[in-house]
C-alpha cells in the first residue's frame, strides 16, 4: 500500500480508536458500579489540592509524561489528540446514553464499556501515532522492561487505584474488576490492530523483506 493512503487510514484508525476510548469511559461512568482507576486517583487528588477535576487531569498528564523519560517513550500526535478527543467523545456518549435501571443492566453496560476500552486502546495504539500519557506507561514498561502487556497494564492500574484510594477516591466493585481485567483483555488485541495492511509495523516488515530479497541471479548463487 502506498504511503499516502496508508497514512490516511492510520489517522482514521487513530481518531476512531480515541472516540471509542472516550465512549468506553462514558459507558463505565453510566454503569455506576465503580469508576476507572485514573478517575479514582483524580478524585483523591481533589481532596488534597484546591484544583478542579479538569485541571488535575491536565496537570497529572504532564507529570505522567515525565515518567516517560526513563522509559524512553516519545510523545506523538496521538498523545496530543488523546488529550483533546477523549473528553468530548465521552461527553457526547454521556449525553446519548442514560444510566440503565436495574443491577444486571448496569453490570452489562459496565462489561460492554470494559471490553470497548480494551478494543479502543489496542486500536488507537496500533495506528502508530503515539499513546496517551497513561497508556504510555503500559507501553513503556512493556518495551523497556520486557513485561507482558497484561502485566504492565495491571501493575499501573492497581498502583493508581491504591494511591487514589489512600487519598480518598471512591473505589467500587467495578474499579477492582477493571484494574485486574483490562490488562489481560488488551494483551491479545495489541498484535491484531498492529497488523492491518496500512499499519507501520506491516510496512516496516515489507521494507525489510524487500531489502533482504536477492536482486539478481548472481546473488542467489
Tell me the pLDDT tens digit for each residue of 90-104: 888 888 999 899 999
Cell reading at 157:
492500574
Please give the average per-residue pLDDT across 206-217, as a whole number: 40
Q: Which residue has the higher pLDDT, 215 or 176?
A: 176
pLDDT for position 204? 52
pLDDT for position 205? 47
Q: Which residue has the higher pLDDT, 21 or 212?
A: 21
With a CB cutoff of 8 Å and minimum separation 6, the contacts of 215 are none
Q: How many CB atoms lie under 10 A from the CB of residue 65?
A: 17
- Where is average pLDDT lowest: 7-11, 114-118, 159-163, 190-194? 190-194
Q: Taking the chain, what is the end-to-end CA distance rounded to the nearest angstrom? A: 31
DSSP state of 49: S
- Tell me the pLDDT tens digit for each residue of 21-71: 888 888 888 888 887 888 889 888 989 988 876 678 778 888 888 888 888
H/E stretch holding 60 reads helix 53-66
Whole-model pTM? 0.76
Amino acid at each position: 500500500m502506498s504511503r499516502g493512503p496508508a497514512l490516511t487510514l492510520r489517522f482514521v484508525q487513530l481518531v476512531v480508536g480515541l472516540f471509542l476510548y472516550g465512549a468506553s469511559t462514558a459507558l463505565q461512568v453510566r454503569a455506576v458500579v465503580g469508576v476507572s482507576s485514573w478517575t479514582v486517583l483524580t478524585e483523591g487528588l481533589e481532596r488534597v489540592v484546591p484544583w478542579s477535576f479538569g485541571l488535575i487531569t491536565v496537570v497529572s498528564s504532564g507529570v505522567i509524561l515525565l515518567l516517560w523519560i526513563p522509559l524512553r517513550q516519545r510523545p506523538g500526535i496521538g498523545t496530543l489528540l488523546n488529550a483533546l478527543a477523549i473528553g468530548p467523545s465521552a461527553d457526547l456518549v454521556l449525553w446519548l446514553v442514560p444510566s440503565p435501571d436495574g443491577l444486571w443492566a448496569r453490570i452489562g453496560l459496565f462489561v460492554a464499556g470494559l471490553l470497548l476500552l480494551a478494543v479502543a486502546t489496542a486500536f488507537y495504539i496500533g495506528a502508530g501515532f503515539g499513546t496517551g500519557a497513561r497508556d504510555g506507561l503500559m507501553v513503556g514498561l512493556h518495551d523497556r522492561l520486557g513485561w507482558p502487556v497484561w502485566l504492565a497494564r495491571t501493575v499501573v492500574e492497581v498502583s493508581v487505584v491504591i494511591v487514589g484510594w489512600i487519598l480518598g477516591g471512591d473505589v467500587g466493585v467495578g474499579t477492582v474488576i477493571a484494574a485486574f481485567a483490562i490488562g489481560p483483555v488488551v494483551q491479545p488485541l495489541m498484535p491484531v490492530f498492529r497488523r492491518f495492511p496500512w499499519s507501520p509495523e506491516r510496512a516496516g516488515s515489507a521494507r525489510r523483506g524487500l531489502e533482504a530479497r536477492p536482486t539478481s541471479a548472481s546473488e542467489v548463487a
